[in-house]
Structure 1
């Protein structure tokens, strides 16, 4: 992958929310908590480089009416309502903070691009390269990456140790698939030493 111009690159931080990351989170991804320090560092490096830091979060109506059909049973009476708007579970994990110059996009499906203004915002900002961190590799990371490739982003990078899945094997299999469609998959250390 070619090195990207700083003002043409965005870091997408996907679903680093309490319900997905904390050990008692209602939608916990087992590998999520371990990557928090690397995600924090990736955000710091991206800001230093002048990248557009973009926070991609799930926020659902507490009734569950905007949730995928296969998950609506999780929003029944008396049940915790995962990542519902305004809940503690929908908040970013400690250590991650949205700043004024950042951009936040709310999604209700796996891909950050599906039924959101993300692509329009990135195009309007002249962004043609993406760096992606967060959870979970086979779902929201993968869907976002495949959509980014379909939308012809020039460079798509997934930082392998700042993304996570329920198991290392699931994570590795999905990274392998993404690499096969031209996605770069450096470690955080490798990415920090590069300029892309």
Structure 2
């Protein structure tokens, strides 16, 4: 049953896709595999409370939304950042190409029928997407973030959320990851310094008591 305390909150799950997580992923984030269990638990907790889960890749659970925020690219790389276009050249199947196994969610994360999928082609889930208008229409003003990776998609999404006056913005520090722990912690430090709440999964779960 949805908890009214969380009715204006959304969980953004960012880029938890095979190409970013698996050992043979084309854009593997070294710390990504270790956080999969905590991301699964974060999603489960959100669903229990009716929190809007957005999978940057999404869906709707009672008063809480579940949104899926994912990267998907044109197989020819025509919508990819310029610095990555070489990865799609000469007939290669580039990272997170639409319809490829690498673009699928990692095992353990499942989009349900009522979920909503938001596709992005840049680091921030807000850039050139309808995420902000979607959240405004849903009455969402508080965001919780999980996924990969901390200095890129997590950080840019968080800083855009802060600029758009979402409050509070919370990053689950052990359900997000970067290539190394030092990179992860440095970016967590920077986000904390702009007013972002940086909680462990346990601390976040205890906060709903």
Structure 2: which 5+ runs fail to align? 56-68
Aligned match of 2:7: 7
For residues 25-83 of structure 1, what are the alpha-carbon distances to aligned partners after superposition, in whole Å with 9 as ceiling and x for unaligned? 00000000000000000000000011011111000000000000000010011433110
Higher relative contact order (CA 8 A, sep 6+): 1
Alignment of 1:148 with 2:178, yes or no, is: no
Q: How many residues align?
A: 193
Runs of 4+ in 1 over 6 A off after TM superposition: none
Structure 1: which 5+ runs fail to align? none
Q: TM-score, normalised by structure 2?
A: 0.90
Q: TM-score, normalised by structure 1?
A: 0.96
Alignment of 1:138 with 2:160, yes or no, is: no
**Distance in 2 separating the partners of 1:126 and 1:88:** 34
Aligned match of 1:188: 201
Alignment of 1:61 with 2:74, yes or no, is: yes
**Distance in 2 separating the partners of 1:101 and 1:149:** 28
Aligned match of 1:89: 102
Any idea what SS the aligned residue of 2:26 has? coil
RMSD of aligned Cα (Å):
1.2
Aligned match of 1:44: 44
- For the 8 Å contact 1:32–1:164, the answer to whether it is kept is yes
For residues 119-160 of structure 1, what are the alpha-carbon distances to aligned partners after superposition, in whole Å with 9 as ceiling and x for unaligned? 111110000000000000000000000000000001100000
